[in-house]
């Protein structure tokens, strides 16, 4: 593929909030599309709103992409680095007569809008100030033909042909002044500057697209190819937002593996032939034409399950790093990963490396008496004292089973032992725990149970 035909895509978040999972998904799709097609993936911080943009939000967004492992090609870009271009193109548009200064007050615009809604007309501003001299407090608008019968048509990679009537658009505001562009204008100039060939963005931008196309036309530039991604939805099928709980991607770090989140984000609204996929498989199987049209509800339960699948594949070192618990012994890893759904729950297995605390009443198995439990525990202790751990778990179980054969109740042996070793009513097999902590600690814990 030669340079001029190479695919270039970007994700362009504005740093006016923490990284939203929807933005993250959009970034993932752009990344996958670029990687699959041998193109470039760029990140551009769309900081045109100087009032609301902050460096903290920018850092959060970038950290999120990094965590997901979607590395951009080339430097991070910023709209604020592109100011001279805005001025240049704005002047060009003003000179060529494609843009003009509009002096209508906000009140006048609101009245116009109200009137249009009452009259069941399309809300738009058709400016009567077009050719007047420039005054203070004005805004730059793109001149559109309100009597045009033409349709602006674009071929969306996901949705096919989409059409909008030009006459319904009105004169679009594009800048507050020569140095302060508005989003619609800034995004077009930034994409020209970048040389973006394809724009993959959320469906919420679909009705902005004809505006952007008009700006490309006024500038005499070809518009890129568009693909509007379906939205990530809350359980009530509205756009996912703060009131639906966690939408900030970085909040997922404490509970989820980045691979699981990447997998989940990539596989929602796009069909793969299996559920658990490596990042290579994600790229290999990605096909923009397989992206769905309808929005998808973000299902935390499925993410939990996917995460548990990834957790099971963790090595001891990876588990310790992911949970930030360095004390986890190698032998305990399988016992934990088999049960763990969220990383933050790993601490619940701390009895595998630390003395448990519990209430003595927990030691009692079903309806059995205190005496029976104590007797069982004592006998268990004696057996363990004379048992050689080298003989292995299976032998260990046989020994315990021979004890329970006397009463015919295995629970009477295993239950008190489990509580003595774990301090919990739900835990892995006490034999497994005994082999993680070793003979000495096993006997110590039985002793301390006996003293209760």
Size of the site for RNA (CB under 7 A): 82
Candidate list 18, 283, 297, 403; residue touching RNA; CB under 7 A:
297
Q: Residues 203 to 242: which contact RNA by CB under 7 A? A: 203-208, 230-231, 233, 236-239
Q: Is position 160 an interface residue for RNA (rule: CB under 7 A)?
A: yes
Residues numbered 324-353 forming contacts with RNA, rule: CB under 7 A: 338-339
User: In the set 31, 86, 414, 435, which binds RNA (CB under 7 A)?
Assistant: 414
Shortest spacing between CB 154 and RNA, in angstroms: 10
- In angstroms, give the least distance from the CB of 171 to RNA: 9
| Binding-site member from 244, 397, 439, 441 for RNA (CB under 7 A) | 397
**Which residue, 41 or 154, is less far from RNA as judged by CB?**
154
* Smallest separation (angstroms) from RNA to the CB of 232: 9
CA distance 34 to 27: 11
Calpha distance 209→216 (Å, rounded): 11
| 39 or 127: CB nearest RNA | 127
What tokens does 195 get? 């040389």
Q: Which of 55, 135, 242, 398 is catalytic?
A: 242
User: Using CB under 7 A, which residues numbered 25 to 84 contact RNA?
Assistant: 46, 48-49, 52
Six token digits for residue 176: 């507050």
- Known catalytic membership, residue 406: no
Which is nearer to RNA, 270 or 320 (by Cβ)? Answer: 270
* Interface stretch with RNA, choices 33-41, 54-62, 126-134, 288-296 (CB under 7 A): 288-296
SS (H, E, C) 200-265: EEEHHHHHHHHHHHHHHHHHCCCCCEEEEECCEECCCCCECCHHHCCCEHHHHHHCCCHHHHHHHH
Cβ proximity to RNA: between 39 and 291 the closer is 291
6, 7, 16, 325: residue in contact with RNA (rule CB under 7 A) = 16
**Neighbour tally for 417: CB within 10 Å:** 27
Quick one: 253 or 410, whose CB is closer to RNA?
410
Q: Cβ 344 to RNA, closest distance in Å?
A: 16
Of the candidates 295, 267, 294, the one whose C-alpha atom is nearest the C-alpha of residue 281 is 267
Among 73, 178, 221, 305, binds RNA (CB under 7 A): 305
Minimum CB distance to RNA, residue 298 (Å): 8
Closer of 2 and 289 to RNA (Cβ): 289
The answer to whether 299 contacts RNA (rule: CB under 7 A) is yes
Q: Looking at residues 112 to 131 of the shown chain, list those that interact with RNA (rule: CB under 7 A).
A: 113, 116-117, 120-123, 125
Question: Residue 188 Cβ, how far from RNA at the closest point, in Å?
Answer: 12
Positions marked catalytic: 242
């Amino acid at each position: 593929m030669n340079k001029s035909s190479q695919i270039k895509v970007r994700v362009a978040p504005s740093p006016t909030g923490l990284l939203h999972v929807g933005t993250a998904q959009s970034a993932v799709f752009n990344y996958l599309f670029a990687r699959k097609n041998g193109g470039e993936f760029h990140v551009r911080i769309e900081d045109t709103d100087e009032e609301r943009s902050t460096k903290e939000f920018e850092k959060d967004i970038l950290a999120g992409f990094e965590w997901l492992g979607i590395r951009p090609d080339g430097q991070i870009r910023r709209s604020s680095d592109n100011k001279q271009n805005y001025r240049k193109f704005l002047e060009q548009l003003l000179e060529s007569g494609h843009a003009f200064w509009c002096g209508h007050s906000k009140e006048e615009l609101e009245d116009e809008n109200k009137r249009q809604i009452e009259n069941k007309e399309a809300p738009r501003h058709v400016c009567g100030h077009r050719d007047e001299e420039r005054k203070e407090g004005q805004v730059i608008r793109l001149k559109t033909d309100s009597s045009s019968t033409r349709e602006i048509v674009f071929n969306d990679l996901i949705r096919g042909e989409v059409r909008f009537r030009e006459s319904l658009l009105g004169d679009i505001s594009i800048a507050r002044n020569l140095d302060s562009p508005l989003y619609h204008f800034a995004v077009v100039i930034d994409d020209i500057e970048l040389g973006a060939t394809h724009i993959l963005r959320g469906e919420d931008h679909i009705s902005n697209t004809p505006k952007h196309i008009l700006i490309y036309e006024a500038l005499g530039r070809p518009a890129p190819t568009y693909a509007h991604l379906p939205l990530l939805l809350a359980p009530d099928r509205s756009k996912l937002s703060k009131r639906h709980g966690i939408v900030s991607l970085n909040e997922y770090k404490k509970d989820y593996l980045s691979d699981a989140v990447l997998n989940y984000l990539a596989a929602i609204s796009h069909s793969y032939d299996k559920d658990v996929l490596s990042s290579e498989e994600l790229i290999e199987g990605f096909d923009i034409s397989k992206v769905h049209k309808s929005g998808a509800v973000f299902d935390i339960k499925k993410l939990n399950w996917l995460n548990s699948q990834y957790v099971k594949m963790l090595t001891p070192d990876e588990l310790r790093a992911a949970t930030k618990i360095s004390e986890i012994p190698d032998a305990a890893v399988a016992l934990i990963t088999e049960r763990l759904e969220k990383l933050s729950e790993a601490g619940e297995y701390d009895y595998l490396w630390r003395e448990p605390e519990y209430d003595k009443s927990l030691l009692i198995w079903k309806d059995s008496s205190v005496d029976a439990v104590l007797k069982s525990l004592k006998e268990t202790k004696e057996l363990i004292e004379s048992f050689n751990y080298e003989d292995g778990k299976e032998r260990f179980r046989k020994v315990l089973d021979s004890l329970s054969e006397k009463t015919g109740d295995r629970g009477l042996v295993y239950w008190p032992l489990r509580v003595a070793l774990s301090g919990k009513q739900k835990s892995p097999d006490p034999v497994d725990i005994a082999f993680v902590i070793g003979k000495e600690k096993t006997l110590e814990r039985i002793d301390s149970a006996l003293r209760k």
